[in-house]
């Protein structure tokens, strides 16, 4: 017989069952408290993360450095474009480009005055038709507006004459 059981064996097992239940309840309660603390900490961190003013204060140096870097990069690109443009306008650069163009013309004279292909002709014709239609519509609207402006004072004069009679 087991040394932990006495008598009929039910009394001690009920006590150990109640004891283990109390232990589990205690563990559950401590885990709940720990979990509640963790959730509260997560909530606090979430609020801090979404607080723009707080993040701006905390990250002011990083934001300033990033802004300066972006501004310097943009300024550098603008300066580089201007420098490149000035450089291309020099006489020596123009002479170099002319020399390259002439050498290309000598190497491949068939490409100098080549006729555009069929797709290019079709696209050109379609673009010309679209532009002509748009210009015609704009002119028609302009003439209609001008005509309405001329008719409007005449109608107002007729209405005044009728009112005066």
Domain locations along the chain: 118-165
Degrees to nearest 5, angle at CA 45 with 61 and 34: 145
Integer CA distances (angstroms), 16 to 6, 24, 39, 83, in order: 13, 12, 34, 89
Better pLDDT: 111 or 39: 39
What is the pTM assigned to this prediction? 0.37
CB-side neighbour CA atoms (13 Å) of 10: 1
What is the sign of the dihedral through the CA atoms of 19, 25, 26 and 28?
positive
**Burial call 63-83: b when 16+ CB within 10 Å, e when fewer:** eeeeeeeeeeeeeeeeeeeee
The predicted-structure confidence for 94-124, as pLDDT tens digits, reads as follows 899 999 999 988 888 877 777 888 999 999 9
């Amino acid at each position: 017989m087991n040394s932990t059981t006495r008598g009929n064996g039910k009394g001690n097992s009920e006590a150990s069952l109640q004891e283990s239940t109390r232990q589990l309840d205690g563990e559950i309660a401590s885990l709940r408290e720990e979990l509640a603390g963790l959730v509260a900490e997560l909530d606090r961190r979430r609020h801090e993360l979404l607080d723009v003013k707080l993040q701006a204060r905390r990250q002011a140096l990083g934001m300033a450095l990033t802004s300066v870097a972006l501004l310097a990069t943009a300024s550098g690109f603008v300066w580089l474009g201007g420098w490149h443009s000035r450089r291309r306008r020099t006489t020596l650069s123009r002479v170099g480009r002319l020399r390259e163009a002439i050498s290309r013309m000598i190497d491949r004279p068939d490409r100098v005055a080549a006729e555009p292909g069929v797709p290019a002709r079709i696209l050109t014709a379609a673009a010309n038709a679209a532009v002509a239609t748009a210009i015609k519509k704009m002119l028609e609207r302009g003439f209609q507006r001008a005509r309405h402006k001329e008719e409007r004072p005449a109608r107002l004069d007729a209405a005044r004459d009728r009112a005066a009679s």
